[in-house]
């Protein structure tokens, strides 16, 4: 079964082709460069960029996947959450394509797609439902109980900034470029290990799986104020901030897994591409014999293949979106 996945929820225009869980192509055109100067994503620029390049991305995904248009069985698209104008560009394209080809449509949740990106990886031990999902991205920090491709229960969320957003804002405070995640990871790696700063840990209710990152962001801001910040000091702040935030996320995710009696944790979202995060999570999970699934960087960031991966599973279960015209599913 060949599924086309369309992702336009934020600043990446991406279309992927998946054949029974195997990725055939995954094309990404990012508008990141145009947002850098503003220090964050500008919704109007992102939606215009989607409209300008979606046709090209589609043609490239089809040719790279070595398929013909008539081979496509199913079209999946990100329906929410995301920037309204950006989502609209992908939804309109998906609906028009489904109408033109007479193919069924599946609407997909962006967070769930991030987690099912793990199914695209070839591993000896395969991820199976049920598992605990952790989405850490620029817009979300969520722990979910994942029982099936349409059965996700939210266990905890951020009450203020998303973790990726906190990385971006701390980078701005340190006068580092946008996006902050990769550059903070790089600067933290350069830290010589002497004198970690004890930034406060967000103290939310003991049994809650919710997060708060605005406190540590403000703590960094106050720390930097009225101080001469050298390059070495930036490395120290980056390291201390990163360890603090990842410590909280890893603890809560493992607690959620132990509480639900499950053995597998799957992670997704841009922040999951951070090597130090993977190291902390895997080291801690070892003590409880938990299996960790983190996709490669290409599948951590926003991409169309992850949308096709979950769309295909939903399509096989007959969960279709309303199409503009009734079509025979034939699946």
Q: Smallest distance, Å, CB 179 to ligand KG4?
A: 4
C-alpha 20 chain-centroid distance: 22
Question: Hey, which residues between 170 and 199 contact ligand KG4 (CB under 6 A)?
Answer: 179-182, 185
* Listed ranges 134-142, 153-161, 202-210, 225-233: which one lies at the site for ligand KG4 (CB under 6 A): 134-142
113 binds ligand KG4 (CB under 6 A): no
Instruction: Please pick, from the candidates 14, 26, 86, 137, the single residue that binds ligand KG4 as defined by CB under 6 A.
Output: 137
Contact of residue 213 among ligand KG4, Zn ion, none (CB under 5-8 Å per partner type): none
Q: Smallest distance, Å, CB 43 to Zn ion?
A: 15
7 binds Zn ion (CB under 5 A): no
What six digits make up the tokens of 3?
A: 């599924």
| 208 contacts 251 by C-beta, under 8 angstroms | no
137 binds Zn ion (CB under 5 A): yes
C-alpha to C-alpha distance for 139 and 158, rounded to whole angstroms: 10
Residue closer to Zn ion by CB (options 115, 173) is 115
Q: Among candidates 286, 287, 267, which has minimal Cα distance to 277?
A: 267
The residue number with the shortest CB distance to ligand KG4 is 181
Instruction: Please pick, from the candidates 155, 170, 254, 271, the single residue that binds ligand KG4 as defined by CB under 6 A.
Output: 271
- Give the torsion through C-alpha atoms of 159, 108, 12, 323, to 10 deg: -140
Residue closer to ligand KG4 by CB (options 127, 166) is 166
C-alpha to C-alpha distance for 93 and 90, rounded to whole angstroms: 5
Question: Hey, which residues between 84 and 103 contact ligand KG4 (CB under 6 A)?
Answer: none
Residue closer to ligand KG4 by CB (options 167, 320) is 167
C-alpha 257 chain-centroid distance: 20
Q: Smallest distance, Å, CB 269 to ligand KG4?
A: 4
Instruction: Please pick, from the candidates 77, 93, 167, 191, the single residue that binds ligand KG4 as defined by CB under 6 A.
Output: 167
User: For the chain, what is the radius of gyration of the CA atoms?
Assistant: 20
Instruction: Please pick, from the candidates 133, 139, 295, 311, the single residue that binds ligand KG4 as defined by CB under 6 A.
Output: 139
What six digits make up the tokens of 219?
A: 């703590």
273 binds ligand KG4 (CB under 6 A): yes
Taking CA 103 as the corner, what is the angle to CA 101 and CA 105, rounded to the nearest 5 degrees?
A: 125
Task: Please name every residue paired with 6 in a beta bridge, in sequence order, or none if there are none.
Answer: 15, 77
Instruction: Please pick, from the candidates 72, 301, 305, 306, the single residue that binds ligand KG4 as defined by CB under 6 A.
Output: 301
| 271 contacts 181 by C-beta, under 8 angstroms | yes
Beta strand 74-80 pairing with 105-109: parallel
Q: Smallest distance, Å, CB 51 to ligand KG4?
A: 19
Q: In the chain, what is the straight-line distance between the N-terminal and C-terminal CA atoms, in Å?
A: 8
Taking CA 63 as the corner, what is the angle to CA 58 and CA 67, rounded to the nearest 5 degrees?
A: 100
C-alpha to C-alpha distance for 58 and 320, rounded to whole angstroms: 21
Question: Hey, which residues between 288 and 307 contact Zn ion (CB under 5 A)?
Answer: 302
Residues binding ligand KG4 (CB under 6 A): 10, 137-139, 164-165, 167-168, 179-182, 185, 269-271, 273-274, 301-302
């Amino acid at each position: 079964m060949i599924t086309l996945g369309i992702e336009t929820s934020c600043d990446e225009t991406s279309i992927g082709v998946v054949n029974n869980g195997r990725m055939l192509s995954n094309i990404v055109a990012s508008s990141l460069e145009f947002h850098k100067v503003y220090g964050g994503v500008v919704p109007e620029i992102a939606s215009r960029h989607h409209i300008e390049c979606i046709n090209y991305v589609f043609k490239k995904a089809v040719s790279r996947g070595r398929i013909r248009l008539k081979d496509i069985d199913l079209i999946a698209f990100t329906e929410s959450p995301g920037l309204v104008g950006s989502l609209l560009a992908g939804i309109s394209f998906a609906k028009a394509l489904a109408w033109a080809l007479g193919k069924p449509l599946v609407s997909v949740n962006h967070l769930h797609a991030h987690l099912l990106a793990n199914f695209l990886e070839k591993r000896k031990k395969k991820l199976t439902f049920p598992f605990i999902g952790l989405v850490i991205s620029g817009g979300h920090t969520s722990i979910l109980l994942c029982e099936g491709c349409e059965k996700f229960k939210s266990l905890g969320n951020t009450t203020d900034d998303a973790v990726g957003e906190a990385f971006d804002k701390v980078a701005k405070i340190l006068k580092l470029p946008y996006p902050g995640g990769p550059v903070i990871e790089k600067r933290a790696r350069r830290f010589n290990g002497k004198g970690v700063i004890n930034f406060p840990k967000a103290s939310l209710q003991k049994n809650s799986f919710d997060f708060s990152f605005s406190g540590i962001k403000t703590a960094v801001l106050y720390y930097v104020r009225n101080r001469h910040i050298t390059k070495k000091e930036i490395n120290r702040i980056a390291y201390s901030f990163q360890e603090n935030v990842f410590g909280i996320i890893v603890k809560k995710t493992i607690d959620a897994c132990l509480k639900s009696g499950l053995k597998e944790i799957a992670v997704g979202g841009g922040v999951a591409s951070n090597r130090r995060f993977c190291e902390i999570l895997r080291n801690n999970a070892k003590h409880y014999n938990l299996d960790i699934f983190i996709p490669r960087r290409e599948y951590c960031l926003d991409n169309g293949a992850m949308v096709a991966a979950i769309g295909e599973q939903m399509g096989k279960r007959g969960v279709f979106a309303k199409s503009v015209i009734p079509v025979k599913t034939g699946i």
